Amino acid sequence: MRIGIVGTGAMAGVLGGRWVRAGHEVMVGGRDAGRTARTAALTGARAGTVGQAVRHGEDVVLLAVPYAAAPALAAAHAGALAGRVVVDCSNPVGPGFTLTTGTGPSAAERIAAAAPAARVVKAFNLCHVSVWGIEEPVFEGGALAVPLCGDDDAALKLVGALVRDVGCEPLAAGPLARAHLLEATAALLIGLWVGEGADARAIAPPLAYAVPREG
């Protein structure tokens, strides 16, 4: 696949590196040429401007920027993003581990509204970047599941393949209208992990006990 990554931070570097090693053609684009070059060198990707990365991403464009910048960036490149699969991995989490989007549309929905012809998928927002760098993210015998929200089946299938490229399993989490639930889950988990030092996995029972049991 041809993947364009907008952003030069840790998420861009780690996911970009995994996808390069999986055989994809990746370009990293950012506003700071020096930082872009360093991120690209670390990942084995090509370096470019934001616009070049968007145009390169004929198959997928990953927005690996803070949520505060994402809608405006999507609006600025709405024409180039038309028809493209756009992955939003942002978390609009503010002070007190609350959502900066409040009770309004999710970050992913706001990005979709800013670039209405793009095919937006919410993914990769529930784990710290260090997890995506683990060669085989298998815990207690099971590969890590990555929930995906989106409205386009082909886009979801394509992003699911990229999830598998980082050693995880895609998990259908519903349409983009449910992305606010993923973002709220991230706020809750980050609050438990960082604020309380709690093992968030302990709050959910195994599947066999999570649904009504017959008898």
Per-residue pLDDT of 167-179, as tens digits, reads 999 999 999 999 9
Domains of the chain, each with CATH number or no CATH: 2-201 (3.40.50.720)
3-state SS, residue 146: strand
Residue 193's identity, in one-letter code, is W
Distance between CA atoms of residues 89 and 117, nearest Å: 19
Report the amino acid identity of residue 113. A
Contact, 3 vs 146, CB < 8 A?
no
> Nearest CA to 123 among 61, 200, 43?
61
Distance CA 174, CA 101 (A): 20
Q: What is the distance between the alpha carbons of residues 62 and 143, in angstroms, rounded to a whole number?
A: 23
Residue ranges for the chain with pLDDT beneath 70 = 215
Name residue 26's beta-bridge partners: 3
In order of 124, 136, 145, 179, the CA distances from 167 in angstroms are 13, 5, 9, 23
pLDDT score recorded for residue 211: 84
Is pTM, for the whole model, over 0.85? yes
Give the list of residues 6+ apart from residue 58 with CB closer than 8 angstroms, or none. Answer: 2, 84
Cβ neighbours of residue 77 under 8 Å, at least 6 residues apart?
50, 51, 54, 115
Element (H, E) at 12: helix 10-21
Q: Which residues contact 157 (CB under 8 A, 6 or more apart)?
A: none
Contact between 93 and 100 under an 8 Å Cβ cutoff? The reply is yes
Q: Output the pLDDT for position 103.
A: 94
User: Which H/E stretch holds residue 98?
Assistant: strand 98-99
